[in-house]
Amino acid sequence: MRTYASVPFSQVKITGDFWHERLETVLTRTIPSQLAKLESSDIRGSIKLPKPVPPLTIPRQSNNFTVQYFWDSDIGKWIEAAAYALSHRRDAAIEAEIEAMIDDLEAAQEDDGYLNCFYTQREPEKRWTNLRDNHEMYNAGHLLEGAVAYYHATGRDRFLKIMERNMDHIAATFGPGEGRRRGYPGHQEIEIALVRAWHATGQRKFLDLATYFIDERGNTDGVDHYFDIESRARGEDPAGYWFGDYEYSQAHLPVRQQTKVVGHAVRAMYMYAAMADLAAEHDDAALRAACEALWKDVTERRMYVTGGFGPSEWNEGFTKDFDLPNDTAYAETCASVAMVFWAARMLNLDLDGQYADVLELALYNNALAGLSRDGAHYFYDNKLESDGAHHRWDWHRCPCCTMNVSRLVASVAGYYYGLADTEIAIHLYGGATTTLPVAGGEVTLVETSDFPWDGRIRIAVTPTPGTGRFTLSPRIPSWCRGASARLNGAPVEMTVERGYLKITRDWAAGDVLELDLPMGPERLYAHPDVRHDAGRVALRRGPLVYCCEQHDNAEPVNRLRLAPDAPLRERREPGMLGGLVLLEGPARAEDATPWGTALYATARAPARETTMTALPYYAWCNRGSNPMQLWLQEAAD
Amino acid sequence: MRTYASVPFSQVKITGDFWHERLETVLTRTIPSQLAKLESSDIRGSIKLPKPVPPLTIPRQSNNFTVQYFWDSDIGKWIEAAAYALSHRRDAAIEAEIEAMIDDLEAAQEDDGYLNCFYTQREPEKRWTNLRDNHEMYNAGHLLEGAVAYYHATGRDRFLKIMERNMDHIAATFGPGEGRRRGYPGHQEIEIALVRAWHATGQRKFLDLATYFIDERGNTDGVDHYFDIESRARGEDPAGYWFGDYEYSQAHLPVRQQTKVVGHAVRAMYMYAAMADLAAEHDDAALRAACEALWKDVTERRMYVTGGFGPSEWNEGFTKDFDLPNDTAYAETCASVAMVFWAARMLNLDLDGQYADVLELALYNNALAGLSRDGAHYFYDNKLESDGAHHRWDWHRCPCCTMNVSRLVASVAGYYYGLADTEIAIHLYGGATTTLPVAGGEVTLVETSDFPWDGRIRIAVTPTPGTGRFTLSPRIPSWCRGASARLNGAPVEMTVERGYLKITRDWAAGDVLELDLPMGPERLYAHPDVRHDAGRVALRRGPLVYCCEQHDNAEPVNRLRLAPDAPLRERREPGMLGGLVLLEGPARAEDATPWGTALYATARAPARETTMTALPYYAWCNRGSNPMQLWLQEAAD
C-alpha cells in the first residue's frame, strides 16, 4: 500500500532563487539547445520514415552494436522534458515541434502497433530478437513517458494513443499466456513508464504489463533464461555474452531474491524505482523487502559521497563493496537522476528521512553536476578528482544524460512534497508555493527561504475553511545539527520521527512555521574500507558537498592538506556562478621545490601555509577545465 | 664509444644464496615447466610445418588481430632462456628439445630466408604487409636472440645460420636502397638482437641493419610515414589506427628527436636499449643525448617506486607525468626486464651509479616480482595495491613475461660487472666469483656476502702475476647512508665518483676489500605531484622495496597508518619464503566497528594500535591471493 502520494510538479510553483534559476535555464537554454543537437546529430531525422536507409551515423561496434539503437529514447526524453517545460509555460513553437515529431512517430508505427524507427527502417525482420542488448523496450518506455508528460501538459492524447497501441502490441507479444514470449527488457525503464501511464489513464493493462516485466525478470523456474533462449534463436552462444552474466542487467535472479546492487547502474536504479512503485501498488511485502535490502546495500557500501553510483566505466555500473575510486569514478549522471526516482518512490512507501536524505544528496550533487551553468554543457561521468583533463561536453554519442538532467530539473518541484489523507510531508526546501488537498479541505503552503545557502525556512500555512486537523511534517535533514522550529513565534517541541518533525494541529490561516536548520560546514570521512578515501576528508555544508577547484586555489589542489581542527569559514559570493557560498580555511601544501628533479625522496617535502577554497561540487568545471579534488588530504601537521 | 663492456654471465659464477636459489629454480622448475606450457598451449606445435592449417587457438579480435602472431617469439625466448641454462649446466634432454625446434624452424624457413610460422602457414601472401601490428620482426628478433644464446652455450651455429639467412632476407627487403621498402618493426626488439648477433659474429651487416631500423624509425623527412604507406596498401585508412598515433610504438618522431617516454612501455624500453647500444657502437652523440633525455624523463616522472613502468593497461604503457596509480598499475614485468637491458647499456656508455641504481631497483622489485617462489607462476602486471583479487597465473594468453623473467634470472650474473682496460666496475652484489682480463693480466674476484639482506661485502682480489695497476670500482648504492670500506683491514678513503668508489692501486694476491653498505630501513615519499601517493609512505631496505600483505597483518592492510617517527624493526625469517628480512613496527588502524553500517560519518573512526609487518615486494602473493598495500598511510596521530 502506498502511504504517501507524490505531488505533481505542476502543482508546485518554484519561487526560490536556486531552483528557479536552474529551471529557467533549462526552459530557455537547455531544451532549445537539445532540440538543435537532436537535429544536428541526425537523431531528429532518424524518426522520419519511410526514406532510403542511410548509412549509420555512428558505426556499429565489433559486436554489431550501435548506440543508434537508442535514438528513439532520446526523442522520448526530449519530448518529456519539453512537455514539463510546457507545464510551466506554454510555447507554440515547442508544441509545433512536438506535434511534428508525433506525426513522424505515427507514420513510423507499424500496423500491429510496433514502433521502433531503427528496426522498422533498417532491419524489420529482426524486431524483438534481441531484448538483451538493443533497447526496443527501453525506447518504448521513454516514448511512453514523453506521451504521458505531453498529455499532462496539453491534454492532447494523440501521442498517448500511439503509445497505448504500442504497449498493446508489446503485451500481445510478451507475457505469460499462450503464444506469447516470456521476454522482458534488457534495459529496464518501460516499467516506470507503464506505472506513469496507469496513473495517467487508470487503465489497468499498463500496470499489468509493468508487473509482468518485474515478476518475470530473471526467472529460470522451469524455463531457460529468456536471454539464453533469445541468444540461441539468433544463432549465438549465450556464453559469449560480452558482460559475462546477467548481473549486468539485474536479470541474474528473480528481483525478489536480489539483495546486492549489481551491474549497470542506470538499469538498476530504474528497476528498483519500478519495484518500489509496484510494491506500493500491490502492497507486495516481498518486493518491498527486496527494495529495502537493495537500498541498504547501495547506501551502505556502494554510494559516492556525492550521491553518485556505479564506479566503473566497463559496465557503467557497480563493482565491489567499498570500491569507490575518485579519479576514475563513472558515477553517471543518469544513475543519480534514477536514484531520485527510486528514493521518491521509497518515500511514498515509507516516510523515512533516509530516503529523502539520499534523494537530496543525489539531486544537489551528482545529478546537478551533470548540467552546466550555461545549461548547454554536460557531464556524463562525474569524477570526484580530476587532473584537469575531465571536462564538460556539449553533446555525447550517447546523449542519455543530457535529457535526463533536463527532465529532472524541469520537474524538480515534484519531489518537494508527500501527501497522505491527513498529512503533508515536506521533503525538500528552496522556496515553493503549492495548494494541496488534505483533511477534507485544501491548504496553501508558501515556503520562503534561501535554501540551500541558508537553513532558515519560513512556511506560511493557509488552509481553506473546513479543512480538518492535519499533520505538517517538515523534514529535518540528517546533515542538520541542532534544528529548531517556531510556530507563530513560539518554540515547537522537536518531536522528530524518522527524520520528519510532526506537527499535528488545527491549522489556521496566518499560521507561520519557521524552521532553523543549521548548515555549518562539516567534515565527512569515509568508511575505513573505502581505500581511495583513506586519510582524506570531504566537506559538506547543508545538502551540498564541496570540492576544491584549481581556479580558486593557489596551490595544486591534489597537494592540499587540511588539519582536522582547521577552521572552515563561509564566504558568500553572490556574483560567482549564479551566487554561492564558498568554504575556505587555512591549509598546507607540500612544496615540490626542494625536491629538485627527484621522483622519490627519503623525507617528505616541507609544507607551506596556504588557503583552501572549496565550492559546491555541482558548480565545478564551469570556468574551463582545471584540476579538481573533492577528498582532501587530512593531516595534523 | 663504449666506455665499459658487459661481462657475459657465463664468466660469472653466482655463489650467493639469494640469486643462486632463484637461478636454480629457473633452471630446474621454470624452464621445464615453460616447455610443458608451450606444448600444452599449442605454441610448440605451431612451428611444425607443413601441416593442415588448424583453426586459431586464440580467436582474432575485431581488428583481425590475434596474439598467435607472436608465438614464434615465445619459442625464441624459451630457447634463449634454456640456452642460458645450458651455459650453467649442459642438459642433453633440453638440447635435444632445442634441436628439434631448430629442425622445425629450418623446415619452416622459406627459400628466400623468410621465417615466420604464422604467415607461412596461414597467410603467406600477406607477409610483410603489416609491420605496424603483427610482430614479424619482433618474432625474428627473439629467434635471433635465441640463436645467439644457443651458439654461445653450445658452439653449434645451425640456428644462427638460419637466422642469418632470415636477417639477410630482411635486409634485402627493407632498407634505404633501390627496390627495398623503408619499413621498420612495429614492436622493437630485433635491434638489440642484431647488436648481439654483431657481437657474437663480428659480421657488420647485423649492426648495419640495427642501425638502419633505428635511423629510419619515425622518419617523415620527404617521405610518408611507413605505417601510413603500409596501411593504405592494405586498403585501410591510417587514421583508423586503434592507438590513434604512432607514439604507441615510439614511431611518432625520429628517435633522436624523442625526449618524452611515451607509448607501449616494452617497445619503448627495448628501443632505448638499442639506442644506447648504437650510441656506443657509433659514438653517436645525438643518440646518446636522446637516451639521456629519455632516461631523465622516465626516472624523474614516470617510474613506480618498484622500478615498474607504464601505468596503463590500455596501451600497456605510459600516460602522463606523475600518473602512477597503485591499484590499477600495469607495470608489466617485461618492461622492467627491458629496463634492466637499457640501464646496463647506459652503464656501459657512462659509469654513473644512477643507471645501476635503477637497474637494481627494477631487477629486485618489479621484475623479480614477476616470478613466483615456486618458479612456475607469474605476474604480467605488477600492482602496488590489491584488494585481494590480483593473483599469479600459471600461463597467459600472451606469455611474453614468463620467458622474459626466466631469461633475465638465468643471465643475471651478466649485470654484475663492467669492464674497461684498466678498471673493473662492480654494479651488483650478492655472492659471485669471476675472472676478468684487466690491465694486461687477469684478476679473480671472489665476492662473498649475504646481499640483499646484509650490506657487508667481502671481495677477495687475486690478480695473476704481471697484471698492471688497475682501478676496482665497487658501486656505492644511492640507498646507502654512511658506506665505508676497508682494504686489508685498513679504512679506505671514500672517494666516490658518481656512485662508484674508485680504488686504483697495484693489486696483489691476498688483497681483501670489505665494504659496509648500511641498509637500515628507510621511508620513501613520492613527489607531491604523484596524487596517488599523497600522504603515504613506502618502505625500503637496501635495494628492496617493501609492502604489507594481509597474511602477515592483523588489521586490513589498506587501513594501516604509520607514524612518521614510528620505529621500524628488522626481523630475519630464514624459513619464510626462502628466507627474508621482514620489517615491522607499531602502527594504527582505523576501527570500523563504531561506524555500524554508515558509509560516511562526520568523525574519523578511532584508530587502534597494531603492528605493521612488511615483506619485500618481490615476495608477495606466494601464499595465495590476499590484499596487499605498498604505499601506507602516514599520520602523526
Q: In this predicted structure, what is the pLDDT of residue A366?
A: 98
Q: In what order do the strands lie in the sheet with A5-6?
A: A5-6, A417-420, A423-426, A470-474, A503-505
Q: Smallest Cβ distance to B522: which of A527, A602, A605?
A: A602
A-B contacts at Cβ under 8 angstroms: 137
Residue of B nearest to A480 (CA): B602
pLDDT value at B1 more than 70: no
CB-based contact, A313 to chain B, within 8 Å? no
Exposed, middle or buried by CB within 10 Å (0-12, 13-18, 19+), for A576?
Answer: middle
Task: Label each residue of B110-126 as H, E or C.
Answer: CCCCCCCHHHHHHCHHH
Give the residue from B531, B548, B562 with the most A CB atoms within 10 Å of its CB, the best one to mutate. Answer: B531
From the candidates B400, B401, B548, B621, give the one annotated as an active-site residue: B400
Question: Looking at the predicted structure, is the pLDDT value of residue A61 above 90?
Answer: no
User: Does residue B13 carry a pLDDT above 60?
Assistant: yes
Q: Locate all alpha helices (DSSP H) within A116-189, ordered by sequence.
A: 117-122, 131-134, 136-154, 158-173
Question: Nine-digit cell at A404?
Answer: 535526463
The answer to whether A531 contacts B328, with C-beta atoms less than 8 Å apart, is: no
Which 3 state secondary structure label does DSSP give B617? helix
Please report the pLDDT score of residue B52 as a whole number: 66
Q: Do A635 and B535 touch (CB under 8 A)?
A: yes
Q: What is the pLDDT of residues A328-344, one digit of tens each?
A: 999 999 999 999 999 99
Long-range contacts of A340-345 (CB under 8 A, 24+ apart): A340/A367, A340/A408, A340/A415, A341/A192, A341/A269, A341/A270, A341/A273, A342/A269, A342/A272, A342/A273, A342/A276, A342/A295, A344/A6, A344/A414, A344/A415, A345/A273, A345/A276, A345/A277, A345/A280
Least Cα distance to B246 among B224, B262, B229 occurs for B262
> 3-class SS at A87?
helix
Q: Which residues of B touch A366 (CB under 8 A)?
A: none
CB contact residues (below 8 A), chain A span 616-635, against chain B? 633-635
Question: Is the pLDDT score of B23 beyond 90?
Answer: yes
CA distance B18 to chain A (A): 26
- Pairing of β A544-549 and β A536-541: antiparallel
Quick: pLDDT tens for A177-230.
889 999 999 999 999 999 999 999 999 999 999 999 999 999 998 889 999 999
Residue B287 has pLDDT above 90, yes or no: yes
Helix (H) or strand (E) holding B433: strand B432-438
When CB atoms are compared, the residue of A327, A522, A600 closest to B525 is: A600
What is the per-residue pLDDT for B51?
65
Nearest chain B Cα distance for residue A389, angstroms: 11
Q: Which amino acid is at A129?
A: T
Interface contact B593, partner A, CB < 8 A: no
Cross-strand partners of B312? B317
Inter-chain residue contact A599 with B535, CB threshold 8 Å: no
Nearest to B523 among A300, A602, A633 (CB): A602
- Residue A531: which region, alpha, beta or left (left: phi > 0; alpha: psi -120 to 50)? alpha
* CA A474 centroid distance within chain: 22
Residue written as cell 532549445?
Answer: A32
Q: Which of B360, B383, B437, B292 is nearest to B626 (CA)?
A: B383
Residues of B in contact with A536 (CB under 8 A): 535
C-alpha B489/C-alpha B549 separation (Å) is 42
- In DSSP notation, B252-296 reads SS-GGG--S--SBHHHHHHHHHHHHHHHHHHT-HHHHHHHHHHHH
Q: Does B328 touch chain A (CB under 8 A)?
A: yes
> A147 burial class (0-12, 13-18, 19+ CB within 10 angstroms)?
buried
A268 SS3 class: helix
User: Who among A299, A592, A595 is closest to B599 (CB)?
Assistant: A299
User: How far is the first Cα of chain A from the last one, in angstroms, to the nearest whole number?
Assistant: 55
Distance separating alpha carbons of residues A456 and A16, to the nearest angstrom: 13
**Set of chain B residues whose Cβ sits within 8 Å of the Cβ of A522:** 602
Per-residue pLDDT reduced to its tens digit, A369-402: 999 999 999 999 999 999 999 999 998 888 989 9
**Which residue in B has a C-alpha nearest to residue A633's C-alpha?**
B535
| End-to-end CA gap in chain B | 55
Of B62, B387, B524, the CB nearest to A600: B524
Residues of chain B above pLDDT 70, percent: 99
- Nearest-CA distance from B481 to chain A in Å? 11
Residue A528 is nearest to which of B525, B534, B592, comparing CB atoms? B592
The three cell numbers locating residue A596: 629538485
| Interface touch A296/B597, C-beta < 8 Å | yes
Q: What is the pLDDT of residue A346?
A: 98
* pTM of the entire predicted model: 0.93
- What pLDDT, in 10s, does the model give residues B292-305? 999 999 999 999 99
Q: How many CB atoms neighbour CB A597 within 10 A?
A: 9
Cβ atoms of A31 and A94 within 8 Å: the answer is: yes
Residue B323 touches chain A, beta carbons under 8 Å = yes
Burial class of residue B2, CB neighbours in 10 A (0-12, 13-18, 19+): middle
Task: Give the tens place of pLDDT for each residue, A494-517.
Answer: 999 999 999 999 999 999 999 999
* pLDDT for A57 beyond 90: no
What is the average pLDDT value for chain B, to the nearest integer? 95
Instruction: Choose, from B97, B191, B316, B332, the residue flagged as catalytic.
Output: B316
- Quote the pLDDT of residue A54: 72
Q: Is residue B339 within 8 Å of B359, Cβ to Cβ?
A: yes
Mean pLDDT of chain A: 95
- Chain B nearest-CA residue for A531: B558
At a CB cut-off of 8 Å and minimum separation 6, what does B251 contact? B184, B186, B217, B218, B225, B226, B227
> In terms of CA atoms, which chain B residue is nearest residue A535?
B633
In a mutational test of the A interface, the residue from B604, B610, B632, B634 whose CB has the highest number of chain A CBs within 10 Å is B604
Looking at the complex, report in whole angstroms how far the Cα of residue B636 sits from the nearest Cα belonging to chain A: 7
pLDDT of residue B418 exceeding 60: yes
Geometric angle at alpha carbon B570, from B568 and B573, rounded to 5° = 145
Question: Which cell is B475 given?
Answer: 658501486
Interface touch B524/A601, C-beta < 8 Å: yes
**Interval B75-83 mean pLDDT:** 97
**A527: nearest CA partner in chain B:** B599
The residue of B385, B600, B608 whose CB has the most chain A CBs within 10 angstroms, and thus the best one to mutate to test that interface, is B600
Residue range A96-123: average pLDDT?
96
Span of A480-484, A591-595, B77-81, B509-513 with lowest mean pLDDT: A591-595
Owner of C-alpha cell 592449417: B53
Q: What is the mean pLDDT of residues A283-289?
A: 97
In this prediction, residue A66 carries a pLDDT of 81
> Min CA distance, A309 vs chain B (Å)?
13
Does B252 lie at the interface with A, CB-CB under 8 angstroms?
no
- Residue A524 at interface with chain B, using a CB cutoff of 8 Å: yes
Q: How far is A572 from chain B (nearest CA, A)?
A: 23
Is the distance from CB of B614 to CB of B309 less than 8 angstroms? Answer: no
The answer, yes or no, to whether residue B50 has pLDDT greater than 80, is: no
Of A320, A589, A600, the CB nearest to B305: A600
Distance to chain B for A195, nearest Cα, Å? 32
**DSSP per position, A272-313:** HHHHHHHHHHHT-HHHHHHHHHHHHHHHHHSB-TTS-B--BT
The pLDDT value recorded for residue B177 is: 84
Amino acid B63: pLDDT: 67
Would you call B599 and A524 a contact, using CB atoms and an 8 Å cutoff? no
Q: Answer whether B597 touches A (CB < 8 Å).
A: yes
For residue B167, count CB atoms less than 10 angstroms from its CB and return exposed for 0-12, middle for 13-18, buried for 19 or more.
buried
Tell me whether A288 touches chain B (CB under 8 Å): no
Residue A59 banded pLDDT, cuts 50, 70, 90: confident
Least CB-CB distance to A603: which of B525, B526, B527?
A: B525
Write down the pLDDT at residue A3.
Answer: 80
Q: CA–CA separation, A283 vs A277, rounded Å?
A: 10
pLDDT band at B66 (very low <50, low <70, confident <90, very high): confident
**What DSSP state is assigned to residue B38?**
H
Q: What would the pLDDT profile of A447-499 be if each residue is shown by its tens digit?
A: 999 999 999 999 999 999 999 999 999 999 999 999 999 999 999 999 999 99
Quickly state the pLDDT bin for B283 (edges 50, 70, 90).
Answer: very high
Dihedral angle sign, alpha carbons of residues B532, B393, B268, B271: positive
Please tell me if residue A297 touches chain B, with a CB cutoff of 8 Å: no
What is the Cα–Cα distance from B620 to A443, expressed in whole angstroms? Answer: 68
Work out the average pLDDT over B93-111: 96
Q: Give the residue numbers of A annotated as catalytic, written as ranges.
A: 316, 400
Q: Report A:76-135 residues touching B (Cβ under 8 A).
A: none
A300, A528, A599 member nearest B526 (Cβ): A599
**How far is the CA of B571 from the CAs of B487, B574, B583, in angstroms?**
30, 10, 6
Asked if B527 lies within 8 A of A559 by C-beta distance, the reply is no
Mutate to test the interface with B, among A604, A610, A633 (most CBs of B within 10 A): A604
Strand pairing report for B385-386 and B417-420: unpaired
Read off the pLDDT of each residue in B222-236 and give the average, rounded to a whole number.
94
Is the minimum CB–CB distance between B604 and chain A shorter than 8 Å?
Answer: yes
